[in-house]
Each structure stands twice: as structure tokens, then as C-alpha cells.
Structure 1
């Protein structure tokens, strides 16, 4: 991966060649299902193998964003939404939750004795770009983009 950085106000991506949006109940089991769906769609749309570097990056990024939506962005009775977008040179994962006031913190290492708090560091490491967009008073979308090409 190259140019890793958080972008809060990125330009809108070009129109996707393919896209899929699915709502999930805000449970850990559904976050796990979102990860599997993202990788399945990625491999189907790109013809890249399940064990390719980009597919592994999509799996990790989706798992972290969906898990964060369940853990930190949940309101009782409200779902989270997974959006998958195949763009000309990248794959975009968007996870929308119902807590726009809880923006993700900067991806900084937690103290060494902390047992959690490293998820956004993983997103930063595996995504080429990531960020958060709040478009209304009810939701926020955390997104990440993974390049389709593999290194080398």
C-alpha cells in the first residue's frame, strides 16, 4: 500500500462500476458477517483471489470499521449500514452508524499496557485512504479505500 492518510473531507469518489449497500443489526455477529460479505463481493467483482493482499486488506478494514460501528456507534434498535463500491482503481468500504457525535479519534498508538485501541492504526496501515464524513445530524460514515493492484 502507498499514501496512507486520514482524510476527513475527501473529494467524492467517481461513480462506482458496481456497488452494494446492506443494513445489519448492530451486533458483533453481524459485524463478522459484514466482513465476510465484503470479501466475497470484492473477490467476485475484481476476480482477485481471496488470499490476495487487497482482499486481506478489505477483510481487515471492514472488520475494524464494522466492529467500531457496533461498539462505539450503536444506539438501541438502530442498524449500521455497509456500503461497498468498486471504483476504477480501488475498492471503497463505507460503514455508517447512528452516532455522528462520536467521531473516530486520530490513529495514534495507545499506551503499551492498553489491550485495545489499535484498530484505526490497522485501518491506516492497510487502507490507502480513510476518513469520516458526517452529512446529517443522525449518522456518520467511516470509509476506507484499498487499491486494486498488488505490490510488485
Structure 2
């Protein structure tokens, strides 16, 4: 195991010593992309990790791999890691020659919004070159809960409503 993988395994270790990660090889088809989302949501749910946003990010990255990263007869890989308080989503395909480009779609376009959604939903994302001919598009989602907002009813911190603890 490489130093990087050992570091990920140690940081992603649960108190019981088990590492929370999954890696799946899926067909580069629309069915494979749908299956990627379903299996990711199932894994995240079983880990007790919020899965709504992550499911959408997986769906977009898997659809891109099946559409733009497709090479007939070759699959794409979905990998999920929980490292400390961060979920890392990686989708690896065999079209390293086709780099994803974030662009504003034409208003009338029916497609082209996938990376725009990933950019909005993920805290960070990028592309890593792999061994030729692979590339990995990754996204990270911070799992720390957002700070509680103050009440908008005029009862802020230090002014609880009657009967509230």
C-alpha cells in the first residue's frame, strides 16, 4: 500500500478500526451511471453519511464518464472515501485525452450543466491524470454540519422562545 493510501486509510478509519471506502467498476453506459448513483447512496446511507448532495454529484460525474469518457468495452471506476470529515468522490475513466471543461451552457441547451452542478454542490473538485489513458475527476464534500442559524422570528441567541430549551 502506498504512503498516500495508508494515510487515507488511517484518517478514514472508524473507531472500530474499519475504513469507510468503496470502489466499484461499472459499465460505461447510462445504466452503469444510474447504478453508480444507487450504489453510492446505499453505501453512504449505511455509513450514516448525508447522501442527497453526494448522490447528485456521483450522478453527474458518472454520467460524464459514461458519455464523454466512454471507450467501447472499457468501464469506469467509482470510488468513495470518508476521510476525517470529508467525503471524496472519484470517477476514473479511460479517456485521459478528453479533459472536462466547466462552462456556462447555452440557455437553450438540453445538456452541458453537469460540471456546473458539481461546481455548485461540491466544496472542491478537480481532475487528476492517471496512468495513460486514465483520468480521475474528483469532488470533495465537507461533512461538518453548518452552523445553526439564528431564529428569524426575533428570538436570537440569548432570547429563547417561551418553553424552548
Which interval holds the TM-score relative to the shorter structure? 0.7 to 0.9
**2:33 pairs with 20, 31, 34, which one?**
31
Is 1:71 the counterpart of 2:67? The answer is: yes
Look at both structures and tell me which one has the larger radius of gyration over its CA atoms. 2
More RCO (CA 8 Å, sep 6+): 1
Alpha-carbon offset, residue 113 of structure 1: 1.7
Instruction: Report whether the alignment pairs 1:61 with 2:63.
Output: no
Which residue does the alignment assign to 1:7? none
Who is 1:41 aligned against? 43
| Secondary structure of the structure 2 residue equivalent to 1:40 | helix
Which residue of the partner structure matches residue 95 of structure 1?
91
Unaligned stretches of 5+ residues in structure 2: 13-19, 148-165
**What is the RMSD of the two structures over their aligned residues, measured on CA atoms?**
1.5
Give the total of aligned pairs: 134
Cα shift readout 1:58-105 (whole Å, capped 9, x = no counterpart): 011000000000000011100000111011011111000010000000
Match in the other structure for 2:8? 15
For structure 1, the 5+ residue unaligned runs are 1-11, 49-53
| TM-score normalized with structure 1 length | 0.82
1:131, 1:144 within 8 Å by CA — same for their partners in 2? Answer: yes
Q: Counterpart in 1 of 2:136? A: 141
3-state DSSP of counterpart to 2:130: coil
Matches of 2:97 and 2:72, distance apart in 1: 16
Q: TM-score, normalised by structure 2?
A: 0.76
Q: Aligned equivalents of 2:38 and 2:66: distance in 1?
A: 16
Distance (whole Å) between structure 2 residues aligned to residue 29 and residue 20 of structure 1? 19
Secondary structure at 1:116 match in 2 = coil
SS of the residue corresponding to residue 8 of structure 2 reads: coil
TM superposition shift of 1:33: 0.8
1:38 touches 1:59 (CA, 8 Å); kept in 2? yes
